[in-house]
Amino acid sequence: MTSDPFKTLRPLVTRAGTVGHYHSLPAFADTGSAIARLPVSLRIVLESLLRHCDGRRITTHHVRELAAWHPNAPRSSEIPFTVARVVLQDFTGVPLLCDLAAMRDAAVARGAAAELIEPLVPVDLVVDHSVMVDYYRRPDALALNMQREFERNRERYEFLKWGMQAFERFRVVPPGIGIVHQVNLEYLCPGLQHRDGLLFPDTLVGTDSHTTMINALGVVGWGVGGIEAEAAMLGQPVYLLTPDVVGVELSGTLAEGVTATDLVLSVTERLRAEKVVGQFVEFFGDGAASLSVTDRATIANMAPEYGATMGFFPVDARTVEYLRQTGRSAEQVETFEAYWRAQQLFGMPPAGSIDYSRVIVIDLDAIVPSLAGPKRPQDRIPLPQMRERFTAALGHAPAAPGTALRDGDIVIAAITSCTNTSNPGVMLAAGLLAQKAVARGLRVAPRIKTSLAPGSRVVTEYLQRAGLLEALDALGFGLTAYGCTTCIGNAGELAPEIAAAITQNQLSVAAVLSGNRNFEARIHPLVKANFLASPPLVVAFALAGRVDIDLTHEPLGLDAAGQPVYLRELWPHSAEIEAVRHWASDPDTYRRLYADFSADQPLWNAIDGRGGATYAWRESSYIARPPFFDEFAAQPAPRPPIRGARALLLLGDSVTTDHISPAGSFRAESPAGQYLQARGVAAADFNSYGSRRGNHEVMLRGTFANVRLRNRMLPPAADGSPVEGGYTLLDGVQTSVYEAAMAYRARGVPTLVFAGEEYGTGSSRDWAAKGTQLLGVRAVIARSFERIHRSNLVGMGVLPLQFAAGDSIESLGLDGSETFDLDLPAELRPQQSLRLVIQRGGRRYELMLRSRLDTPVELAYFRHGGILPYVLRQLLAAPAAKEART
C-alpha cells in the first residue's frame, strides 16, 4: 500500500466501520518526536513526508528534520513536498499544456513512448480567464459575452479538448461554470483524499497566486508558476525552503456593518508591513474560530497580497459544516471529521498552544470599513478618508467638470473576483443595499460600466431566490459572466466618448471593484486609480459616481423626492443578511449545479477536439510549439560565465508580474500587434495577451511591454515627466524592449535586468519568467524578490541575484551605459556570494551579490537550464523509458 518506515499506518474507523488506513501523526509522536506544538500546516506537510518516505527522493532524514523544526532556526534545508493534485486556470493552463505536448514530441523523438509524459496526479483546469465584459446592462449580456468568448478562443478550446483525450488525469471545467478558486472551494476539493485504501489530506499547488483560497478548508496549498506545476504533475515533489511560520492571532469580533473584505484589507496592510513574504501564515485564536469558512476564504485568498506562501486556517466544526452545506456526501463529511480528530488536529488552536516563529495579534473589534488603492492592495484607506487620500494621490483637487467627466469620476464598477463572490455575506449585503437604493429611486449613472461576474452559478441562484438579483440588475449590476473579468484586466472597452474624454483631458478617473488586485494598468489602461472594495461598497460608490467623497457624511445622491440619501440608511444590518443567508446553504443546489459540466453548455459541446497521443501542430496565432526543447540534449551543457553583458532595463520598487508579463489588451503599433497584423490578424481580433499565452511569439513581444513600466535608463519626456511603456535604449536610441533584446541576441551580447524591492509581486505569471528567458536575459538583479516569481525565474534557468544591504541601482549610479561580467563557479552552492564586475567610462567596479538559488534542487534546475529539461531528462533516464527505446 505504501512505505512505512516509522510504522505509523493505522486503520481509520468511523460509525460505518473501517474506511481505510492512514499515516498517524500521534503514532509518529509515540516514536519520540515531539510534534504536538508544531504549527498545524507543518504537521500536514509532515504527514506527506511520512506517506512518501521511500528512502530515495524522501528519506527518513527529511522526516526527522521537519519533525525537529524550530521556530527561529536558520533556514537552509529544503522540504520535498508531494502534492495530491494540481489546479489550473486557462491563461496559465494552456501554455502548460503546450509544454506537455512539446515534451511528448521530445520524448518520441528520442525513442520513448508519448505516454511517458502523463500527469501522475489529478489535474483540473477551470476556464475562467477568457471572458471579457464586452456587453453589459442588458439582459442578454451573459449569452453575448460567452458567444464572443468562444469566437475569440475557439482554437484554444480545441487544444484543451485535445488535452482532455490525450491525458488520462486531465479534466477541464468549461467556460461559464465559475472561477477556479471558488469552484475549487465549492466542488473540486474533496476535503480528504482516498486512493487505493489510503486516506490522506487534500494538498495541491495551482497555477494562480490565489490558490491559497483553499487554505480556508484546512488544505495546504499555494500558487506556483506553470513550469513548477508541470513538475508536480509529473510526479516531482514541490521543493521549498523550510519556512518560518507566523502565527496570526485573531481576537474579538467584527463590529456591526464591517465586512470580511474590510478585514482582509486590514490584514493585508498589517502583514505587508510585518514582512511575511515567503513565510507560512497560520491563523488561530477565538476570533479565527468565530469566522465562517467563506470569511476565512476571503482572508486566505489574498495571501499573495500580503506576501505569504499561505494564509492557513486549521480544520474545525465550521469546516465540517461548510462541506455539508456545499453538497459533499454524508460519508465524505463523516470520514473527513473522523480523520482530523484521529490526527489530533481538529479544532482552532487557542493562544499559546503552538510554537510559532513569531505571533502577530489582530483585533477584529478594531476593523473599520475600508477600501484599498489607488494601485496596490496593501494601501488601505478607511472609508472616511477616501476624498482626502484620492486628492493626495492625484496631487491636486479635482477640477469642476468642463466635460462630461472630471478627475475622480468612476467609469468602471465591478462585482467580480473569487475573493468576494465566494462569500455569501458580502454578496447578499450588496443585493440588500441595491434593493434599498432602488426603493429610494436611486440609479447609477449610465457612463459607469457596471458588471456582475460571480465566481460560480450558485451565487446567482441564491441571489435570485433571495429576491435580490432584480435590484442589482436595476442598478446596472446585471449578470455579465462567470469568470474573473475586470479583476484580471478583462473589463472590455469603455464607451468611445468616455475613452476620448479621458485621453483628451488627461483625466485620472477611477474604477471600484470587489477584486484582489489593482496594479497599474491592470484593470484598464485608461483608468489610473483603481480601488478594491466589498461588493456593497462597490454598489455604493457606483451610486455616488465618484471616489473623491466621504460616504460617512456625504449623501450618495437624491431620492425621488429630492431628499439626500446616505449610506447609513441603505447599509444592511447583520440580521437582514442572516435572514436570507439560508439560500446560500442549500446542499442540493451545489450538487445540481456541479453534477454535469456539459449540461446547458452548447458552445462548449460544439467544440471538436483533435485526437492522438501527440498534438498535430498547425499554423495558429493562438497555439504554437514552444521552443524550450529545440536544443534539448541528453546531458546539460555547462552554464557559461556572463561576459560583456548590458542592462536591458533599470527598474524601481514593486515591479509586478503585470509589469513584466504580457497581460490585458495591446495596441496595433506594439511589437505583438505588428506581429499579428503581419500574419493577417486584424486589430479587432487581437483578443488579450492572456488568451494568446499558447503562442510564444506573441508573448515574447509583449514581455516588459506594460504601458506603465518605467525604465530608469530613459531620459524624461519633453515636459519633464518620466517615460512610461515597454521602452529601453539601444546604442543611445530609444526603442522597444523587444527590439533591443533581439538586437543584443543577434550580437551575442547577454543582458541583465536590474530592479529594486519586491521584484515580481503579483500573479504567478509563468510568462514573466518565460518571456524574460526568451528575450535573452541571463540574470535578474534586485534588492528583493517575491517568492513565486523568483522560483519561476529559476525554473526557466534565469539566475536571480540579490543586492547586498545598502547596494542598489541608485547607490551604484547605474545608467545603462555599463558592461557587466559575472563568473559562475562550476559547483554553485545555495545562496552563494558571486562577484559582479561593472565597467563604465574606463573605470572598473566590483560588488558581491547573493545568488537566490536557495536550495540544492534549484541548483539542479539551473544547471539543466530549467525545470522542464531537468524533468524530461529524468523521465528519459527512467527504466521504463529505456525499455521502450529497446
Strands (E), 661-755: 727-730, 733-736, 751-754
Least Cα distance to 434 among 582, 567, 579, 585 occurs for: 567
Architecture of domain 243-314+349-368: 3-Layer(aba) Sandwich (3.40)
Please enumerate in sequence order all residues whose Cβ is within 8 A of that of 202, keeping only pairs 6 or more positions apart, or say none: 84, 85, 189, 190, 191, 192, 193, 217, 219
CA 89 to CA 180: how far, in whole Å?
6
221 forms bridges with which residues in the sheet? 204
CA 532 to CA 373: how far, in whole Å?
7
453 is written with which cell numbers?
Answer: 461576474
Longest CA span, the chain: 87
Sheet holding 310-312, edge to edge: 310-312, 280-284, 245-251, 358-363
For the chain, domain boundaries: 9-81, 83-237, 243-314+349-368, 370-593, 640-660+735-864
pTM: 0.88
What is the pLDDT at residue 323?
98
CA 671 to CA 450: how far, in whole Å?
32
Calculate the dihedral angle through the C-alpha atoms of 791, 796, 797, 800, rounding to the nearest 10 degrees. Answer: -40
Least Cα distance to 612 among 115, 107, 106 occurs for: 115
Least Cα distance to 864 among 631, 627, 624 occurs for: 631
Strands (E), 339-406: 358-363, 370-372, 380-382
Please enumerate in sequence order all residues whose Cβ is within 8 A of that of 388, keeping only pairs 6 or more positions apart, or say none: none
Please enumerate in sequence order all residues whose Cβ is within 8 A of that of 314, keeping only pairs 6 or more positions apart, or say none: 40, 218, 282, 284, 345, 347, 348, 349
Q: Angle formed by the axes of helices 330-342 and 317-325, to 10°?
A: 160
Strands 557-558 and 564-565: antiparallel
Architecture of domain 640-660+735-864: Alpha-Beta Barrel (3.20)
Task: For residue 833, give the 3-state DSSP assignment.
Answer: strand
Grid cell 477541464 is found at: 172
| Domain 370-593, CATH | 3.30.499.10
CA 870 to CA 876: how far, in whole Å?
10
Calculate the dihedral angle through the C-alpha atoms of 583, 584, 585, 589, rounding to the nearest 10 degrees. Answer: 90
Query: What Rg do the C-alpha atoms of the chain give, in angstroms?
Result: 26
What is the enclosing helix (H) or strand (E) of 491? none
Report in angstroms the alpha-carbon separations of 590 from 322, 334, 609.
12, 18, 29
Distance separating the N- and C-terminal Cα atoms of the chain: 31
Please enumerate in sequence order all residues whose Cβ is within 8 A of that of 462, keeping only pairs 6 or more positions apart, or say none: 424, 427, 428, 583, 584, 586, 589
The reply to whether 243-314+349-368 and 640-660+735-864 are identical in fold is no
Mean pLDDT by 10 residues, the chain (886 residues): 86 94 96 92 98 90 95 88 96 91 94 94 95 96 97 93 96 96 97 95 95 98 88 88 96 97 98 94 98 98 95 98 97 97 97 97 98 95 97 86 88 94 97 98 97 97 98 98 92 95 95 92 91 98 97 96 97 97 96 93 92 93 93 91 97 92 84 94 87 92 92 92 94 96 97 96 84 97 90 94 96 96 92 96 94 91 93 85 53
What is the pLDDT at residue 764?
64
83-237 carries CATH number 3.30.499.10: yes
Helix (DSSP H) and strand (DSSP E) numbers for the chain: 34, 32
CA 206 to CA 211: how far, in whole Å?
6
What is the pLDDT at residue 416?
93
- With 0-12 / 13-18 / 19 or more C-beta atoms within 10 angstroms meaning exposed / middle / buried, residue 839 is middle
CA 659 to CA 127: how far, in whole Å?
24
Please enumerate in sequence order all residues whose Cβ is within 8 A of that of 2, keeping only pairs 6 or more positions apart, or say none: 9, 23, 51, 198
680 is written with which cell numbers?
Answer: 493577417
Q: Are the C-beta atoms of 29 and 63 separated by less than 8 Å? A: no
CA 865 to chain centre: 25
Written as one letter, the residue type at 876 is L
What is the pLDDT at residue 886?
45
Q: Are the C-beta atoms of 213 and 207 separated by less than 8 Å? A: no
CA 661 to CA 654: how far, in whole Å?
14
Report in angstroms the alpha-carbon separations of 689 from 211, 334, 658, 663, 670.
22, 45, 11, 5, 12
3-state SS track over 580-641: HHHHHCCHHHHHHHCCCCCCCCHHHHCCCCCCCCCCCCCCCCCCCCCHHHCCCCCCCCCCCC
Strands (E), 621-766: 642-650, 727-730, 733-736, 751-754
The number of residues in the chain equals: 886
Report in angstroms the alpha-carbon separations of 95 from 177, 494, 624, 694.
21, 29, 9, 5
Strands 751-754 and 642-650: parallel
Q: Are the C-beta atoms of 351 and 509 separated by less than 8 Å? A: no
CA 726 to CA 728: how far, in whole Å?
7
454 forms bridges with which residues in the sheet? none
Please enumerate in sequence order all residues whose Cβ is within 8 A of that of 465, keeping only pairs 6 or more positions apart, or say none: 583
Least Cα distance to 27 among 45, 48, 10, 3 occurs for: 10
